[in-house]
Chains A and B, each alone.
Chain A
Amino acid sequence: MAEPLDRAVEELTARKELLGWTVTHRRVRGEQLFADRQRVEARRSIESDQLILDALCTSDGASEPPGCGAASATVTAGEDPGPAIEFAIAAARRTRNQPYSLPSPAPLPDVDLADPVLQADLSGALRSLHERLDACASRDPAARLTLAEWFAEAEETHLVNSQGIDARQSRTELSLEWIVLAGQGQERVETLIDLDRRRLADLDVEAEWEEIARQTADRHSAGAAPMYTGPVVLRGNALRTFLNSGPFQTLGSGRSRFSKLSPWEPGHSIFRGEVRGDPLTVWATRVIPYGKHASRFDEEGLAGQRVLLVDQNVFRSYSASQRYATYLSVPATGSFGDIEVPPGSASVADLIAEPHVEVITWSDFSPEPTIGDFAAEIRLGYHVENGRRRPFSGGLLVGNLFDALADVRWSAETGFFGSYLGPTTARFASLQVTPSRAT
């Protein structure tokens, strides 16, 4: 693994006009399996092997203070990196920016990123997982597995920069997409589940099948969405989707702040009104073991950190690259990572005891990223009242992400959901559900 990177480092080191450089050698091998309920339709094996070269140098032309420019280029490992280096330097020199420097070495976290079982046999792992899924599906007469796509990858990364960073990490990634049907003809419905994990042990095939089969059966018997304003409960994967939908990542970003897209300032509440629920604390973290966005270091070489983004409703720290950290005079934290929320004080039993609507899945949940407004179509929800849990499909969940989080109660029970670690359940005091389909 050393040789392609060494050659690029040698050539970049010789370029005295550079203020700094970074070379990342990234190798990925993967296996993919595609099946329907009758058979395996396709098998694929993949490899990629690349060097990513980043150059930082003084901008052409006289200016006071001197500006700097940065550019990156990619080359397949084994190819001559010369042309890519020439492109990167020429491109960097043409652009003008406020000066900044590259990250310096820092202790890297010992965060678990790779599953040795998966690394040892990607193909065998997928085969075994699919056999388990097939076994579940064959025992279930009502739910029909119509699509199962499996992706397993093992990645090795080595990053070196001109400031002295020399870091390595290994990661595994397991992704799946299942689609399950219920019913026939015009009454037919489907449920889709897509999950990302790094470790086989974090994927309980049987439990996930049971859940998706139940959801599909409920969608099949689902009625129309109610006209409703009141408490809404989100749990597990739905809560993960809600929190990872974009507003925290956009508004908490140093880059967004520098480009004047984000109004968030440290020391100020993120909420526009009174907070009536549990106070909100959020970490942006790259050190959740086997977290989807966990890393020892990011694409710049910045060490993985657990950044306190919001503390008791107050914004504390941007998620910032070295560049924007320099521009904003804030600590460099690296890329955003996963979301972590501390446990609440209520039990799940208490949170779901009173009438509410629970949303399981949406067609797509994409709030406006700088305000947080959303109107998302519900694929499956439940209206819970008088001891009954009635499934519905097709309404719109309407609201504002931050207004919702200003009046929420979190469960004491916590769980890990790939890109989210925190309470399994959240009860939002008041959101709106409206019927969405013209008839």
Chain B
Amino acid sequence: MTTSTPTLTIPPPMAELRPRLPDSVATLQARSPYAAVLLSAREGISISVEAREEEISQMPRSVGTVLSVFDGETLNEKSLPGFDGDRLMAASRELAGSLPKGRGSGRVETVPPRDFATTGAVPLESLALEDKLERCRDLQRRLAAADPRVVNAQVSYLEYDESSVYRSRDADLSQRVLRGRLSVFVVLSQNGETRYDWLSKGDTGDWQPLDYSDADLHEVVQGAARLFSAERIEPAEYVVVSGPGVSGVLCHESFGHGVETDLFPKERARAFDYIGRQVGSPLVNIIDDPSLPGCYSSYFFDDEGMLSRPATIVEHGVFLRGISDMASAQRLGIERTANGRRQDYTRKPYARMSNTYFGPGSTSMEEILAQVDRGIYLDQWVNGMEDPQGWGIQITCHYGQEIRNGKITDRTFAPVSISGYVPDVLGTIRAASPTVMMDQGTCGKGHKEYVRNSSGGPSLLLRTTLG
């Protein structure tokens, strides 16, 4: 993501309140070693076009201010709607007054502000709403015409506009991040039955990566069509070639959730016992990088004011470090990473992933498939669930395709669940392709605290249990 002379700026109400934030921080800082104020605006638009309906809406907005104080053990926060200066100061005094005396310095440094914003070859903000609607309509018409069995073709565009200002004793940061996600969803009907498939593309800042080729649309239609003849898979262990999407979810659920360091002090992560130890084949490299240019879950600083930078989690199969928020890093005495994220201003920060992926390998896809006499190709994932304690993985895929004698066939199984023990699965990885591709999604911690997320990787050759 470029940071030179951004054209996007934070919303005017945030900009107007920003000069008053040092006073708020100073009030809080007088009673606490750490104090910060976060202004957070999460908003956006959604466009949906299908055969007989169209809709444009503003997505539900979450706009507010968070006052935070942390004494090294307890975090106290107050979240207010909007950006009202008088209300901010009153809340600051109230929160400070609720704390024990004499724990803070009250000193706030004058620091140069740093401002960041996303941009791109075709910046998302450069396209008018009408233009985005027309592009969705065009895509919908193309998809609807792709096959006579299509009974509905839906195109949806989601654009997330996320702005934040972070002020603490020694940091004054602002960012505005636009994320776009363009998805196609097709419903086919045949002999009274319906089947569906989808494809999604996302980026931070740029419309250009969201374009769909005719080949893309053909593949989505074929994905749905295969499901008419899909079988249930016999539960067993299989040789699996995972496409980038499934590789990404595997990475996300194993050494993403499994190494969120807020789990470590709670004895909730098996990985804690494996720091510095081999946890997978030497081909396994796992990185979390919120600074990855254009990636769907990138940001310039996290919700606790930590500037973004990559964190290598696993290197050549050895587990190096987790990803952290401020509180758990402080409690564990470890170096922080830029992974302290909130769902929005009404929720607490936790250690959360950003863009998490397997590093590339050097074996071409053709060479990978050539090693498979019988196996399953999986790429269209639906969801995954973490199990950091048991170190298990559960991933549900919409379908999988048989690999026979090095070729992906038309024989389809649906749905397909991946279930396994993390070290076992990672230990079986014996090839990785050279190209890393990233997917987009939403990640929860359990069934709550949802944040934008991206995962990916190369294609991998491995063994695991499918059902």
Contacts and interface: CB of A to CB of B under 8 A. Distances in A.
B420 to A, nearest CB: 6
A296 to B, nearest CB: 21
Interface residues of A, number: 80
Interface stretch (A127-135, A187-195, A312-320, A338-346): A187-195
Interface stretch (B76-84, B102-110, B116-124, B361-369): B76-84
Nearest to A324: B53
A175 B382 CA distance: 26
Interface in B59-112: 60-64, 73-82, 84
A437 B267 contact: no
B467 interface: yes
A76 B463 CA distance: 52
Contacts, number: 220
B312 interface: no
Contacts of A30: 346
Contacts of A88: 58
A307 to B, nearest CB: 23
Contact of B232 (A34, A40, A373): A373
A50 interface: yes
A34 B187 CA distance: 44
A32 B133 contact: no
Contact of A375 (B79, B415, B420): B415
Interface in A75-105: 75-79, 84, 87-88, 90-92, 94-98
Contacts of B398: 368
Interface in A30-88: 30, 32, 34, 36, 39-50, 52, 69-79, 84, 87-88
A77 B81 contact: yes
A36 B75 CA distance: 13
Interface in B391-419: 392, 394, 396, 398, 414-417, 419
Interface of B is mostly: strand
Contacts of A374: 415
B268 A147 contact: yes
B348 A44 contact: yes
A194 B82 contact: no
Interface stretch (B160-168, B172-180, B190-198): B190-198
B446 A177 contact: yes
A49 B61 CA distance: 11
Given A259-B152, A259-B154, A177 B419 contact: no
Contact of B420 (A45, A379, A398, A438): A438
Given A44-B77, A79-B82, A73 B392 contact: no
B6 interface: no
A45 B346 CA distance: 8
Contacts of A78: 82, 84
A91 B266 CA distance: 48
10 contacts: A44-B78, A45-B78, A69-B54, A96-B54, A146-B267, A177-B446, A189-B389, A260-B152, A396-B235, A437-B392
